[in-house]
Chain A
Amino acid sequence: MDAEIVEALRAGDEAAFAALVAQYGASMLRVAQMYVRTRAVAEEVVQEAWLGVLRGIDSFEGRSSLKTWIFRILTNTAKTRGEREGRSIPFSALEGAGDEPAVEPERFQAEGRWTGHWAAPPSPWRDVPESRLLGAETRQVVARAIADLPPAQATVITMRDVEGFSSEEVCNALDVSETNQRVLLHRARSKVRRALEDYLGDDG
Chain B
Amino acid sequence: MKLARDLTCIEIVELVTEYLEGGLSATERERFEEHLGFCDWCVTYLEQMRQTLAAVGTLGVDDLSPAMQDMLLDAFRGWRAR
Residue A27 at the chain B interface, CB threshold 8 Å: yes
Residue A61 at the chain B interface, CB threshold 8 Å: no
The majority secondary structure among interface residues of chain B is helix
Identify the closest chain A residue to B46 (Cβ).
A122
- The CA of A94 and the CA of B45, in the complex, are separated in Å by 25
Give the interface size bracket for B toward A: 35 or more
The majority secondary structure among interface residues of chain A is helix
- The CA of A116 and the CA of B70, in the complex, are separated in Å by 56
Contact indicator per residue, chain B 23-44, by CB within 8 Å of chain A (1) or not (0): 1000000000000000101101
Identify the closest chain B residue to A21 (Cβ).
B72
Give the interface size bracket for A toward B: 35 or more
Identify the closest chain A residue to B63 (Cβ).
A26
Question: Which residues of B are at the interface with A, using a C-beta cutoff of 8 A?
Answer: 8-11, 13-14, 16-18, 21, 23, 39, 41-42, 44-45, 47-49, 51-59, 61-64, 68-69, 71-73, 75-77, 79-80
Question: Which residues of A are at the interface with B, using a C-beta cutoff of 8 A?
Answer: 12, 14, 17-18, 21-22, 25-27, 29, 43, 46-47, 50-51, 54-55, 97, 101-103, 105, 108, 115-118, 121-126, 133-134, 138-139, 142-143, 146, 157-158, 161-163, 167, 182, 185-186, 189-190, 192-193, 196-197
